[in-house]
Amino acid sequence: MASLQTPPTKTLFLDSFPQLQKHGTLPCYRRSGISFLIRAEQAATSSMESPSQDRPRRRQVLAIGTVAPWLFLVNPNSKSFAAESKKGFLPVVDNKDGYQFLYPFGWQEVVIEGQDKVFKDVIEPLENVSVNLFPTNKQDIRDFGPPQEVAETLIKKVLAPPSQKTKLLEAAEHDVDGRAYYTFEFIAKAPNYTRHALSTISIANGKFYTLTTGANERRWEKMKDKLHEIVDSFKISNV
């Protein structure tokens, strides 16, 4: 299997949004880039999926391994858990960086360099969600420009490699508890697959937050409601 690599997207991102630079230089920051996919693994696994009859059993095993750690990490009596948890989803609450979201039951957390959080379906690797943080001096996402302009820049410069053909389908602004978020939908075409993705971005706590999720185009109709649920669940709090 091809090795997992994170593309050198940090510089591209910061060049596109100079407001994210600190004192005119690239900040030393552990989360070094945004990638909407473990790209090497996508190519490797797209041709090595297990037969369909084996998938239900594998999902049951994976689901058991995924849910067990959360029994200890999440307090089911907390107001946040009660408000955000929904059937078929598990919550992520990061109190240190001040964000939370839901991901589908059965997805597993993986550690990828340059990503703050990544959860994915190991059988359908194009189905995943990633969260990334960048330092910024800006106070509001609208300071970077209107939704469509910001979305197009992120997609072309950060969320997809130059070799892929991308298309922004929709971009909009919405408000949650007085904080502005941009949410957008796009597709990225590679030679052997097309990914249909959703992203939401915002600014708080001196950070530029991004959450991106998606699926193979052939599974979009089946997965789109779950993916919209993930994006809609993303909330940032002051820390």
**pLDDT for 61:** 40
213 or 62, which is more confident?
213
Which domains does the chain show, CATH number per domain? 10-236 (3.40.1000.10)
160 Cβ neighbours under 8 A, 6+ residues apart? 36, 166, 188
95-143 residue pLDDT tens: 999 999 999 999 999 999 889 999 999 999 999 999 999 999 999 999 9
84 or 190, which is more confident?
190
Q: Which amino acid is at 169?
A: L
Q: What is the mean pLDDT of residues 208-223?
A: 97
**pLDDT for 78:** 42
DSSP H helical ranges for 8-101: 10-16, 39-45, 55-73, 79-84
CA proximity to 14, closest of 3, 30, 25, 2 = 25
- Dist. CA 117–CA 134, nearest whole Å: 13
CA proximity to 96, closest of 238, 232, 210 = 238
138-151 residue pLDDT tens: 999 999 999 999 99
- Dist. CA 153–CA 144, nearest whole Å: 11
